[in-house]
Structure 1
Amino acid sequence: MCGIVGAVSAHNSVPVLVQGLQRLEYRGYDSCGVAVHTGTGLLRARSTARVAELQTQVTQEGLSAGTGIAHTRWATHGAPVVHNAHPHFSHGPGDADQRPARVALVHNGIIENHEALRAELQAKGYVFASQTDTEVIAHLVDALYDGDLAHAVQAAVARLHGAYAIAVFHKDEPQRVLGARAGSPLVLGVGAEGAHYLASDAMALVGVTDQIVYLEEGDVADLQLGRFWITNTAGRPYTAEQRPVKTVRAHSGAAELGPYRHYMQKEIFEQPRAIADTLEGVQGIAPELFDGVGPDGEPGEAAWRVFKDIDRVLILACGTSYYSGCTAKYWLEDIARIPTQVEVASEYRYRHSVPEPRTLVVTISQSGETADTLAALRHAQSLGLTQTLTICNVATSTMVRECKLAYITRAGVEIGVASTKAFTTQLAGLFLLTLALAQAKGRLTEAQEAEHLRAMRHLPVALQAVLALEPQLVDWAEQFARKENALFLGRGLHYPIALEGALKLKEISYIHAEAYPAGELKHGPLALVTADMPVVTVAPNDTLLEKLKSNMQEVRARGGVLYVLADADTQIQSSEGLHVIRMPGHYGQLSPLLHVVPLQLLAYHTALARGTDVDKPRNLAKSVTVE
């Protein structure tokens, strides 16, 4: 979600700050800003437009300095207007117009006790210019400042309840920036000529430095020209061995669109390559595919030790990742014969569950920084569920560092907010996990393993054949663009795919869409069916096909219009009120990876026809790092 970039340099750091924000635009934001220490005072520029407009403003106002912080904000407290945009200043108590700014601060996360702190600071004479929880931290740092910014930050964060990553500087210390984190990611970059940087994502520092220190929970980073320290909130320093500098080859988010109109379309068409990359090097099925990695890249936990001791799986995830977990439940119980529970991460941690010690906790996250999923993981660990594994697209993420085992998907950077290639690569990783667990439990024969691997290796070719259906989906989209409601149906393995299809449509076209197991139609949703509500049906040629055909007849009998994704041999024919697109053959257990792609294309082209912002849909963010 929100993005942070900070710098202390002997040269003008403003271009680095703005470029860093541009690299973080994919995360989603509704305002942005930059503040600098000129040596004599603090200046800032803020905007509710895109970073490109902020760049113009910065140039026009001549902002130039070696010390600065910058931010992209996704609104939580207060509307997306300029006075709520970061960076926030504190001028001290009293009328702000009468004194220069003393503190500049940016913040990711949510401060849960901001109201109590606000009241306390107002009683001391501090005047608030915004509705944000962030401004509370700026005034608190100012109130606690005693001539040493590190002392003020350490004292301030000790009083914060909630999640935060902050970067802050003070007018009396022109070449110093403090950073701190708890529950929200923050990294420190070591640059050339004594320059040091802060960022919420190493991607923001691509081209600036590849020397990265990952800050851990409760860390406070003190950046000065030519040196830095990392301490805990009590001021106790960590050694270089405890917080090592790592070489990180991050890829730029500013990828070329090439022949595509939007990143989402590009990423849909990158799925054959992404799946091939995710499966690269998989020569056979073995628990070793999921071995953990130690802090310095050395071998970590051995997966076979974990797999032999577990007899159930708990999957924790949010949004699209949750739907990939729902699909994996069918695989894990059918192929590996392991009881599996799938939980919405934001719900799991707030209810009283019954922990089973022999459980493998599996988290799924594109970014590896999803706040709700991380909190759910830590809650599970607090209950004694110590066997943990993550399916994640970012090898350097918090999720990977906090789980014993991992499988890193290779989707590459996904810029479009609506996830596409990250979802299908998650499914590929989860299918491999299913096979590895089945093998560990003696439930996978050599012949079955060979057949599954053959099918997986053929996925890129099969996906290319599905992508060739795009023109037919453009025709469907033109009809959907005139609707305001849609219903998606699936059965068995394909019910989660129907859920994902409905999510994609609502995310980027703003059409209300729901998904149901087709057998549930008669238990309520059928009341909604009219000629104005298109009904999308995922109809593979599996054991539930005849049941699904009966459900389709229920729709037709009520005047509903069906849009059916059918395998070639289902014998479902197009007719009045029944539109059929034929998939290139049935793909068995891996069919969900193919059937989801037409639903992605349908959502994309419907949004295109309606003129919405496909890559940056309103109110949404790519990396959800707040609860």
Structure 2
Amino acid sequence: MCGIIGYVGRKNAVELLFSGLKRLEYRGYDSAGVALIVGGRMTVFRRAGKVDELSGEVLPQGISARVGIGHTRWATHGPPTEENAHPHLDCRGKIAVVHNGIIENFRPLRDRLIAAGHSFRSQTDTEVLAHLIEEHDEGDILAAVQAAVRELEGAFALAVLSEDDPDRIIVARMGSPLIIGKGDEGNFVSSDIPAILGEANEVAFLDDGEIAEVRRDGLRVFSPDGTEVAPRLRAVTSDPFSIQKGGYKHFMLKEIHEQPRAVGETVREKLAAGRIAFPELPALPTDFERVYLVACGTAYHAGLVAEYQWEELLGVPVHSLIASEFRYRAVPVGPRTLVVAVSQSGETVDTLMAVRRAKEGGARVIGVLNTVGSAIEREADGVAYTRAGIEIGVAATKTFTAQLALLSLLGLRLAAARGRLDPEKEQPLIDSLTALPSRIAAALSLEPAVAELAERFYTARDFLFLGRGPLYPIALEGALKLKEISYIHAEGYPAGEMKHGPIALIDERMPVVVLVTGRFAYEKVLSNIEEVKARNGVVIALTDRPDDPVLTGIADHVLPIPASGKLELPAVYTVPLQLLAYHIAVRRGTDVDQPRNLAKTVTVE
């Protein structure tokens, strides 16, 4: 992992590669590099650190090239060093490779190649590819890549540049996302659309096993058996403005403030004449007897919220499971099982593997995605899309609240299809979700008060987040956001479980964020706050009952949350937690948009 960019055409590839790498920074990385054909010779620049550091070294040299490949690396094999940064070269220095994914059989391949006389310079699995392609190279780089790929096990997306064949880039995909793009003055390969926005007019998403040839005058795609197939091109519709900060200090803050729009567009698209409609899911299943929501990270928390809502709406067992665990568990899966895979990118490898496990068991699979053309889209029986737009910040914000809204709507639609929700009961819930964007906007107005709390608590070493019912997953999400971008240790817990462990950690140095709502177990949560105060903990209460003298008398800080319906509640409580994490991280001086060790789209297991 993490980002691939390549260009061949009439423009200067050097500038386009660095522009693309900057746009891929949101995926997370620890080193960067480019390979160019300059004056007929392979030329490589790479280093550990930021793209700006590398471009500051290369661009002043005034280098001109018409073809090149670039990469941002997130270390999986070997530490983030210059020698482990991509691109990697063969022994002759004529073949350059950039790669995302993990080559699972790289050790035996490496041993074989060393025995054959190849010399390795790095600790990465990627370097095996350069030497393996060299081993198969008999004058046709396309044929060499096709032969090398047949020997690989694992997930990969790769781009190959050859000094001896400088007019084309050869690319291949297996289990890791890769797109090829057509522009007016050249053609592209990239891990993601943002890298080529404004340059490519059309893109094609490669399928697993496909290999493509990217030339300045066109694109060719080959199936796994070597048969040429027509590229499945689609127009690029995203707005280049979406990958600009728009006056905000960070993409994350911009995306937090975009949530009323992201949620509003997601909700409006599913409402036709005041009724919920999913036209992209014409064959909506109704005869299922169990439901699994599978996801990773923040999307898993969205699934947990849906679990609380759906078990009441659908009247069947509903379980939200971490995708990397689901695929290895002996959970019952059959034709009357519905699996909902939640993923912003649609490429999260553990979620994709969970989809395949579900399909093998005969389950019907619905994807809840934010990105068109992904692997999960191709493998699911149907897909429902959030309309959050491109999200650049590594820490998910607007995609999460859009997922919450979409899952609520999908739950209502499934309940109605199963005859468990009549129109008069459905309409108030629809009205509630229609009002959600304005509730989120009201929650955003709390930012000055949240920033004051951040100033007070940014030096804390630990945080505890507590919630009950559907606010328990939001406590988990609040803790995750804080640890992701501020590097403060934080835990989320069901408030009722506090006395079974976390209470041992509470003292006067421990801020405890408690999510309190009059809609769920209010008196019980007040008792939990009393337990925290009895151990000298510092309580920050987020509540829709800010005027209750009992609560204000025991909490150290009270943040008033806009009154909301039960379906709106989780999203509304999420917003101040996002803002708290953001302002604490800014105060601590961390890299908010690209936190250390994290990647936006995790395409390795």
Separation in structure 2 between the aligned mates of residue 259 and residue 212 of structure 1, nearest angstrom: 29
Are 1:459 and 2:439 matched, yes or no? no
Range 57-66 or range 549-558, more displaced: 57-66
CA contact (8 A) 1:39 1:174 kept: no
Corresponding residue for residue 45 of structure 2: 45
Q: CA deviation at 1:571?
A: 4.5
Q: 1:336 to 1:314 in 2, by over 3 A?
A: same
Q: CA deviation at 1:39?
A: 5.2
Corresponding residue for residue 322 of structure 2: 344
Q: CA deviation at 1:24?
A: 1.3
Residue identity matched to 1:510: Y
Are 1:411 and 2:388 matched, yes or no? yes
Residue of 478, 489, 504 corresponding to 1:501 = 478
Structure 1 residues without counterparts, runs of 5 or longer: 93-100, 293-301
Are 1:78 and 2:69 matched, yes or no? no
Q: CA deviation at 1:290?
A: 5.3
Corresponding residue for residue 420 of structure 2: 443
Residue identity matched to 1:219: E
Residue of 285, 289, 293 corresponding to 2:278 = 289
Separation in structure 1 between the aligned mates of residue 273 and residue 345 of structure 2, nearest angstrom: 27
Are 1:230 and 2:210 matched, yes or no? no
- 1:106-138 Cα offsets, whole Å, 9 max, x none, are 001011111111111111121111111101111
Are 1:427 and 2:420 matched, yes or no? no
SS in 2 for 1:303: coil
Residue of 252, 260, 263 corresponding to 1:264 = 252
Residue identity matched to 2:183: G
Matches within 5 A, 1:529-548: 529-548=506-525
Corresponding residue for residue 308 of structure 1: 286
Corresponding residue for residue 567 of structure 2: 589
SS in 2 for 1:84: coil
Corresponding residue for residue 7 of structure 1: 7
Separation in structure 1 between the aligned mates of residue 226 and residue 256 of structure 2, nearest angstrom: 48
Residue identity matched to 2:169: V
SS in 1 for 2:83: helix
Residue of 192, 210, 221 corresponding to 1:219 = 210
Q: CA deviation at 1:479?
A: 2.6
Corresponding residue for residue 88 of structure 2: 88
Separation in structure 1 between the aligned mates of residue 294 and residue 406 of structure 2, nearest angstrom: 15
Corresponding residue for residue 97 of structure 1: none
SS in 2 for 1:589: coil
Q: CA deviation at 1:398?
A: 2.3
Q: CA deviation at 1:164?
A: 0.3
Q: 1:153 to 1:609 in 2, by over 3 A?
A: same
Q: 1:198 to 1:48 in 2, by over 3 A?
A: same
SS in 1 for 2:142: helix
Corresponding residue for residue 34 of structure 2: 34
Residue of 597, 604, 608 corresponding to 2:586 = 608
CA contact (8 A) 2:541 2:555 kept: no
Separation in structure 2 between the aligned mates of residue 283 and residue 379 of structure 1, nearest angstrom: 34
Separation in structure 2 between the aligned mates of residue 379 and residue 576 of structure 1, nearest angstrom: 49
SS in 2 for 1:410: coil
Separation in structure 1 between the aligned mates of residue 266 and residue 485 of structure 2, nearest angstrom: 26
CA contact (8 A) 2:187 2:200 kept: no
Separation in structure 2 between the aligned mates of residue 251 and residue 72 of structure 1, nearest angstrom: 23
Residue identity matched to 2:283: A
- 1:314-351 Cα offsets, whole Å, 9 max, x none, are 11100000000000001101123232121111111223
Residue identity matched to 1:358: R
Residue identity matched to 1:66: R
Separation in structure 1 between the aligned mates of residue 419 and residue 598 of structure 2, nearest angstrom: 44
Residue identity matched to 1:221: A
Are 1:255 and 2:243 matched, yes or no? yes
Residue identity matched to 1:124: A
Separation in structure 1 between the aligned mates of residue 16 and residue 68 of structure 2, nearest angstrom: 10
Are 1:143 and 2:123 matched, yes or no? no
Are 1:377 and 2:355 matched, yes or no? yes
Q: CA deviation at 1:582?
A: 1.6
Q: CA deviation at 1:353?
A: 2.8
Matches within 5 A, 1:321-332: 321-332=299-310
Separation in structure 2 between the aligned mates of residue 313 and residue 375 of structure 1, nearest angstrom: 17
Output the TM-score relative to the length of structure 1. 0.93
Range 435-444 or range 391-400, more displaced: 391-400
Q: 1:231 to 1:259 in 2, by over 3 A?
A: closer
Corresponding residue for residue 183 of structure 2: 191
Separation in structure 2 between the aligned mates of residue 573 and residue 438 of structure 1, nearest angstrom: 36
Corresponding residue for residue 95 of structure 1: none
Matches within 5 A, 1:116-127: 116-127=108-119
Output the TM-score relative to the length of structure 2. 0.96
Corresponding residue for residue 19 of structure 1: 19
Corresponding residue for residue 96 of structure 1: none
CA contact (8 A) 2:33 2:47 kept: yes
SS in 1 for 2:203: strand
Separation in structure 2 between the aligned mates of residue 588 and residue 213 of structure 1, nearest angstrom: 41
Separation in structure 1 between the aligned mates of residue 187 and residue 247 of structure 2, nearest angstrom: 38
Q: CA deviation at 1:48?
A: 2.4
CA contact (8 A) 1:157 1:233 kept: no
Residue identity matched to 2:307: K
Separation in structure 2 between the aligned mates of residue 290 and residue 481 of structure 1, nearest angstrom: 46
Q: 1:12 to 1:257 in 2, by over 3 A?
A: closer
Corresponding residue for residue 202 of structure 1: 193
Separation in structure 2 between the aligned mates of residue 524 and residue 284 of structure 1, nearest angstrom: 50
Residue identity matched to 2:127: E
Are 1:528 and 2:505 matched, yes or no? yes
Separation in structure 2 between the aligned mates of residue 604 and residue 199 of structure 1, nearest angstrom: 30
Corresponding residue for residue 540 of structure 2: 563
Residue identity matched to 2:213: D
- 1:163-198 Cα offsets, whole Å, 9 max, x none, are 1000002221121211000000111112335x3321
Corresponding residue for residue 299 of structure 1: none
Q: CA deviation at 1:223?
A: 2.5
Q: CA deviation at 1:592?
A: 0.5
Corresponding residue for residue 154 of structure 2: 162
Are 1:180 and 2:180 matched, yes or no? no
CA contact (8 A) 1:271 1:421 kept: yes
Q: 1:167 to 1:259 in 2, by over 3 A?
A: closer
Are 1:363 and 2:328 matched, yes or no? no
Q: CA deviation at 1:363?
A: 0.8
Separation in structure 2 between the aligned mates of residue 382 and residue 286 of structure 1, nearest angstrom: 34
Corresponding residue for residue 63 of structure 2: 63
Separation in structure 1 between the aligned mates of residue 100 and residue 275 of structure 2, nearest angstrom: 40
Range 152-161 or range 574-583, more displaced: 574-583
Separation in structure 1 between the aligned mates of residue 89 and residue 133 of structure 2, nearest angstrom: 11
Separation in structure 1 between the aligned mates of residue 161 and residue 152 of structure 2, nearest angstrom: 18
Range 515-524 or range 42-51, more displaced: 42-51
Separation in structure 2 between the aligned mates of residue 571 and residue 436 of structure 1, nearest angstrom: 40
Corresponding residue for residue 295 of structure 1: none
User: Post-superposition, which runs of at least 4 consecutive aligned residues in structure 1 deviate over 6 A?
Assistant: none
Corresponding residue for residue 98 of structure 2: 106
Q: CA deviation at 1:11?
A: 4.2
Q: 1:419 to 1:227 in 2, by over 3 A?
A: closer
Structure 2 residues without counterparts, runs of 5 or longer: none
SS in 1 for 2:568: helix
CA contact (8 A) 2:455 2:587 kept: yes
SS in 1 for 2:78: coil
